[in-house]
Amino acid sequence: MDLYSGYINRLIEELSSLPGIGSKSAQRLAFYLVNQPKEQVKRLADTIVEAKEKVRYCSVCCTLTDQEVCPICASPKRDKHTIMVVENSRDLAAYEKTGKFGGVYHVLHGAISPMLGIGPGDIRLKELMQRLQTDEVTEVIIATNSSLEGETTAMYISKLIKPTGIKVTRIASGVPVGGDLEYIDEVTLLRALEGRIEL
Ligand code: ZN
């Protein structure tokens, strides 16, 4: 016998499919939502759909944006010769928050993971290599996470770029092993950037 109405069950099921939301949180959110005024719930639902429809990948760096070219790539103040490669837009945001990196980014949207069946073709590597052909890039800083996947990706990218003669560096291991960039404080992020080593 179902404890709740079918609609509530469906809502709980949908919510618990979100990352970081367990069944208890999903229940709490579901009951919270059905007890809110209709307009408020509609606004939330519309915002989700609108974000999904409007958000796209920057045609240069592949970060999530609502313009053809994101504000960082479009800014004349950014040094287009230095590209920092990160796994996702949240990592970009983490480095951007330090305010100390004047270059541009490239967002891979993932990392190579043989265990999960994620290969080089599943992340935005092709786009990076295309950029290196057309742009006047002098350094690629690989700032993938220091997890097994992040290290595998870093090695793979450095091997790809080496033959082009472009300098490839890796952020220093001030970043704890297995650590996600987005959870690391700014000082550590900056130290990792400053202490980067050539691959
Ligand atoms: Zn961009």
For 121-153, give the DSSP string.
GGTTHHHHHHHHHHS---EEEE---SSHHHHHH
Distance (angstroms) between ligand 1 centre and the Cα of 51 equals: 18
The pLDDT of residue 178: 57
Please name the CATH architecture into which domain 77-173+181-194 falls.
3-Layer(aba) Sandwich (3.40)
Distance (angstroms) between ligand 1 centre and the Cα of 33 equals: 35
The pLDDT of residue 15: 96
The pLDDT of residue 34: 94
Task: Report mean pLDDT in 10-residue bins for the chain, 199 residues.
Answer: 80 93 94 96 96 93 95 96 95 91 96 92 95 89 90 94 93 65 73 80
For 41, what's the count of Cα atoms within 13 Å in the CB-facing half-sphere?
Answer: 11
Contact present, 103 and 81 (Cβ < 8 Å): yes
Distance (angstroms) between ligand 1 centre and the Cα of 67 equals: 9
Distance (angstroms) between ligand 1 centre and the Cα of 149 equals: 24
Distance (angstroms) between ligand 1 centre and the Cα of 56 equals: 11
Lookup: tokens for 108: 């891979």
